[in-house]
Amino acid sequence: MNDLFLLSLAKLLVEKVHSNSLQWLNVKLISPSISTPVLVSWHNPSSRSLKLNVDSSSLGNSDSASGRGLVCTSIGTLVAGFACSFGDKTNMEAEALALICGLQLHLNNGWMDVLTLIQSFFFI
């Protein structure tokens, strides 16, 4: 037998063993879905208002959580930023607390006209 034949036979055996192993382990192969790209962009607030962007994170769904945010002018100039630690909170609690921190920053500075951007649809 030539080397090419042995190599082809070895590849076939490896594929067969791999396929049978997956069946034996009850593993189902699923083709990945291809999502449609989404265009994301920053939109300026009106010239008289500020824009508050807030975000949060929680390690796990009831673990160490934090929030942060930025306040920018209509041309994107950074006015202020904040970061807060919330202790053990869920994702939703962290998102709400980050929003509260950002709004408190606005109130403390006397900024009245504010456009707020938050990633969670839960609060809309």
Domain range for 105? 50-123
111 and 64 in a common domain:
yes
Q: Is 42 part of a structural domain of the chain?
A: no
Stronger pLDDT, 35 or 78, i.e. the higher one: 78
Task: Quick: pLDDT tens for 47-98.
Answer: 778 888 888 888 776 678 899 999 998 888 999 999 999 888 888 888 889 9
88 and 27 in a common domain:
no
Q: Is 41 part of a structural domain of the chain?
A: no
Q: What whole-number distance in Å separates Cα of residue 20 and Cα of residue 26?
A: 10
Angle at 102 between CA 56 and CA 86, to 5 degrees: 45
Q: Is 87 part of a structural domain of the chain?
A: yes
pLDDT for the residue 30: 65
**Full-model pTM:** 0.59
Answer yes or no: are the C-beta atoms of 26 and 88 closer than 8 Å: no
pLDDT for the residue 55: 87
Q: What whole-number distance in Å separates Cα of residue 57 and Cα of residue 41?
A: 22
Residues in CB range of 113: below 8 A, 6 or more apart:
46, 48, 49, 50
Q: Is 90 part of a structural domain of the chain?
A: yes
